[in-house]
């Protein structure tokens, strides 16, 4: 019963606090009378239950936090002297029954006097009732009392790690990377009900380039300017797009910046995604042709010191001419060393079924704080993760099923990767020496022994004349 009454008073005080922000001037007298009655009822409740239970400042946190309402001009200016005196006496009696480790047991009107031992803690307040010292008004004394109680409550919460403290992070503002507004270098129009898909950082629509009279894909990314992590990821994706020019990569055409969204215009691949095309498995010659295209794209990215980190059929597109193009750079990362293949990155991203083992064993967990000690203890990974993902894509093109499809839960896949178990091969793959050899190279557990994209392009499986094969028939 006491808990129910306490909760009811908490709701009433919070209601008064919100109501004080909304009421108009003619309603101030009525609001003042209501607030005083509410507080007096709560004070009676506190004094009654204090006979059997100790009332702490934490227990009374919400009402004490809302006492600022009683000392606002909306209340005090509309109270007659008698009612104000009743409020003052009631408040003093009530505070006498609230225990706080950093507040004296009594804060009555006759005990607001600092002792020499307390001078340091109470020096900023003048609670003196002695006529030889400066007298403060009732309004000031109530405000000072409430402020002090709130300060002690906040200090208690911080000491016991109940609340945190806000610090200045000095993050780079959004405007450093983008202009406040920016238009695409062409006129365009979005086609109604033409959603191409949803990517890692936005939704993709089909639009018409009115200047060149052609179709394009437009990626719409909602901007939350306070979220600096997503903002950096978006900046990285656009920067990566700008520096890429390869026939097997989705082409970037421009960007348009608005207050609450960023629009990225890209090449439209009418053939759809590889994920839709290979559901039933593909002919081996077609798989080899697509593999050649994919390795050329990966090799180009790696030479540009970019790791894609999310290569999978859903991020691979096909044009009307049946040319494979790798896209969606939302998880991509720019690295520094042109020769290093592993140990360069420590963050955990990507799609589990296509992730390399080192992404499970050599990275920081998503919830782990990247301290300097944690970073030093992590081996990290590099370009070789894209090679493993490429092998997974080739395997899916052949079988029509994603890697580890026989497992029922994502944690089972993570366990298999963590223990260094590659995806299973079908009997058809086991009996084809060329295909088996290529997949084993891609799916080498030790990333230091995994070949590069350039080396795999020289493998018999991928080293073909793409013009000699036609996957459309």
Residues with catalytic function: 310
CA–CA gap between residue 94 and residue 458 (Å, rounded):
85
CA–CA gap between residue 402 and residue 392 (Å, rounded):
7
CB-CB contact of 444 with 464 (8 Å): no
Label each residue of 207-221 as H, E or C.
EEECCCCEEEEEEEE
3-class DSSP assignment, residue 382: coil
Residue 14 CA, chain-centre distance (Å), reads 30
CA–CA gap between residue 101 and residue 268 (Å, rounded):
67
CB-CB contact of 45 with 97 (8 Å): no
CB-CB contact of 47 with 91 (8 Å): no
CB-CB contact of 39 with 31 (8 Å): no
CA–CA gap between residue 41 and residue 398 (Å, rounded):
76
Buried b (16+ CB within 10 A) or exposed e, 358-396: bbbebbbeeeeeeeeeeeeebebbbbbbbbbbbbbbbbb
Question: Which residues are paired to 204 by β-bridges?
Answer: 197, 219
Buried b (16+ CB within 10 A) or exposed e, 174-206: beeebeeeeebeeebeeeeeeebbebebbebbb
Characterize the bridge pairing of strands 98-99 and 188-198.
Answer: unpaired
Cα separations in angstroms, 171 against 111, 178, 224: 48, 15, 14
| Crossing angle of helices 384-399 and 284-303, rounded to 10° | 160
């Amino acid at each position: 019963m006491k808990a129910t009454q306490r909760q009811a008073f908490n709701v009433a005080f919070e209601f008064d606090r919100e109501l004080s922000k909304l009421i108009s001037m003619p309603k101030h007298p009525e609001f003042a009378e209501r607030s005083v009655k509410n507080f007096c009822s709560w004070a009676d409740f506190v004094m009654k239950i204090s006979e059997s239970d100790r009332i702490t400042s934490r227990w009374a946190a919400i009402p004490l936090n809302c006492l600022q309402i009683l000392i606002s001009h909306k209340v005090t200016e509309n109270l007659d002297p008698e009612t104000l005196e009743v409020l003052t006496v009631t408040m003093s009696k009530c505070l006498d029954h609230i225990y706080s480790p950093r507040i004296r047991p009594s804060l009555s009107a006759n005990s607001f006097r600092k002792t020499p031992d307390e001078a340091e803690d109470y020096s900023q307040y003048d609670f003196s009732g002695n006529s030889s010292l400066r007298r403060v008004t009732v309004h000031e004394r109530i405000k000072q009392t409430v402020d002090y109680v709130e300060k002690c409550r906040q200090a208690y919460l911080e000491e016991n790690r109940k609340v945190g403290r806000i610090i200045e992070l000095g993050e780079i503002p959004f405007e450093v990377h983008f202009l406040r507004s920016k238009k695409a270098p062409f006129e365009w129009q979005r086609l109604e009900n033409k959603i191409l898909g949803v990517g890692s950082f936005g939704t993709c629509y089909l639009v018409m380039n009115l200047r060149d009279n052609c179709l394009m894909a437009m990626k719409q990314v909602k901007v939350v300017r306070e979220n600096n992590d997503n903002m950096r990821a978006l900046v990285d994706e656009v920067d990566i797009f700008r520096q890429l020019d390869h026939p097997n990569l989705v082409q970037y055409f421009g960007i348009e910046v608005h207050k609450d969204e960023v629009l990225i215009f890209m090449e439209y691949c009418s053939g759809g995604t590889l994920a839709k095309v290979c559901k039933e498995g593909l002919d081996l010659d077609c798989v080899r042709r697509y593999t050649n295209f994919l390795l050329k794209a990966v090799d180009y990215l790696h030479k540009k010191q970019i790791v894609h980190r999310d290569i999978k059929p859903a991020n691979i597109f096909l044009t009307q001419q049946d040319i494979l193009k790798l896209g969606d750079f939302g998880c991509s990362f720019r690295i520094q060393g042109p020769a290093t293949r592993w140990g360069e990155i420590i963050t955990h991203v990507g799609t589990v079924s296509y992730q390399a083992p080192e992404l499970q064993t050599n990275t920081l967990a998503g919830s782990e704080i990247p301290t300097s000690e944690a970073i030093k203890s992590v081996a990290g990974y590099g370009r070789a993760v894209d090679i493993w993902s490429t092998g997974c894509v080739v395997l899916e093109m052949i079988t029509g099923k994603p890697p580890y499809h026989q497992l029922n839960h994502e944690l089972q896949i993570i366990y298999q990767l963590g223990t260094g178990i590659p995806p299973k091969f079908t009997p058809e793959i086991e009996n084809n020496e060329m295909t088996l050899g290529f997949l084993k190279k891609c799916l080498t557990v030790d990333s230091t022994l995994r070949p590069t994209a350039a080396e795999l392009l020289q493998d018999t499986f991928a080293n073909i004349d793409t013009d000699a094969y036609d996957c459309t028939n």
